[in-house]
Amino acid sequence: MSAYLIPAIFLVLIVVAGYLFLSHSIEKRRIQRQRLITAMRARRNSFRDLATGFPAGFLSNDLVGLLYRALIECCEQLTQLEPNDHTHAEQLTLYTNLLSSLKENTQQARVRLDNPQQIKEAHGLLQELYKFVMQQSTLKQINQVQTDAYTDQINRMLLQMTVDGHVFNARQAQQVGKVKLAIHFYQLGRKALAAENASHTFDKQITQLDSVIAKLQEKLDEATNAKTAEPDEGQATTAKSSAADNKEWKQFDEENAKWKKKQIYD
C-alpha cells in the first residue's frame, strides 16, 4: 500500500502546484488586463480633453484629425478589452463620424484668445499635444514630414498665444493710463515675434506693433514735455511774483524812511 501512497502524494503535490501556478498566472493576467484598461481609459480621456478643451476653431483640422484618430484607436482597443461595455462602441462611432465630418469641413480662420485664463489653459493643453505628437513620431505612427508639420503648427500657436498675452496686458495698461507700461508689453510681443521671424512670416504683425508703439511713444513724449514745461512756467510766475514783492517792499522801505525823517524833524 505504501508503494501506492508515495506516488499519490507526489501526484497531489503536482496537482496543487499546477493549480497554484495556474491561479497565479490567471491573477497576473487579470491584473495586467486591468492595468491596460485603466491606462487606455486614461489615454482616451486625455485625448478627449485635448480635442474638446480648446475653443472651437482654435486647432487646425489636421491637429483635430490627429486627436480623433488617436481616440478611435483607444476606443477600438477598449471595445476588445471590455466587450460588455457598450459605451466604448458608442464613442468609437461618435469619433469616427466626427473625423468623417471634419474632412468635409473647410478650415476656418483661427480663433484668437484674449482671456488670460483661456490662454493659460490652452498653453498647458498645447504642451500636452506637443508631447503626444512626439510620442506618435517615436512610435512611427506618423512620419517625419507629418511630425514637422504638426510641431510647426503647435509652436506657431504657442508663440501667438504668448504675443496675445502681451497685447492683452498692454491694452489693460492703456485703459488705466499707464502708457509706459503698455509700450513695455507691446515691445515684449514684438521681441517674441522677431525672434521667430527668420522666414519673415511675422513681418505684418511686427509692422503693426511698431506702429502702435510709435504712437504711444509719441503720446508719452508729449506728456513728458508738457510735464517738464510746467515747472518752468511756475518758476517764471514765482520770479514775477518775487519781483513784484521786492518792488512793494522797496516802496514800503522808502515810505518808511520818509516817515522816520519826518519824525526826526518833528
The percent of residues above 90 in pLDDT, for the chain, comes to: 29
In a domain, 7, yes or no: no
What pLDDT is stored for residue 112 in this prediction? 74
In a domain, 195, yes or no: yes
Among residues 47, 75, 104, the one where a domain terminates is: 104
Could you tell me the pTM of the whole model? 0.65
Domain co-membership, 129 together with 84:
no
In a domain, 233, yes or no: no
* Long-range CB contacts (within 8 A, 24+) of 111-119: 111/55, 111/56, 111/57, 111/58, 112/160, 112/164, 113/55, 113/58, 113/161, 113/164, 114/164, 114/168, 115/168, 116/165, 116/168, 118/55, 119/161, 119/164, 119/165, 119/168
What pLDDT is stored for residue 8 in this prediction? 67
In a domain, 175, yes or no: yes
Q: Please say if the pLDDT value at position 208 is more than 70.
A: yes
In a domain, 142, yes or no: yes
Average pLDDT for 237-241: 48
In a domain, 240, yes or no: no
Domain with 180, as residue range(s), is 117-225
Q: Of 54-63, 149-158, 219-228, 240-249, give the range with the top mean pLDDT.
A: 149-158
Domain co-membership, 19 together with 86:
yes
In a domain, 32, yes or no: yes
pLDDT tier at 161 (50, 70, 90 boundaries)?
confident
Q: Please say if the pLDDT value at position 214 is more than 90.
A: yes
What pLDDT is stored for residue 251 in this prediction? 52
Q: Please say if the pLDDT value at position 7 is more than 50.
A: yes
Q: Please say if the pLDDT value at position 261 is more than 50.
A: no
Domain co-membership, 124 together with 212:
yes
What is the count of structural domains for the chain? 2
pLDDT tier at 230 (50, 70, 90 boundaries)?
low
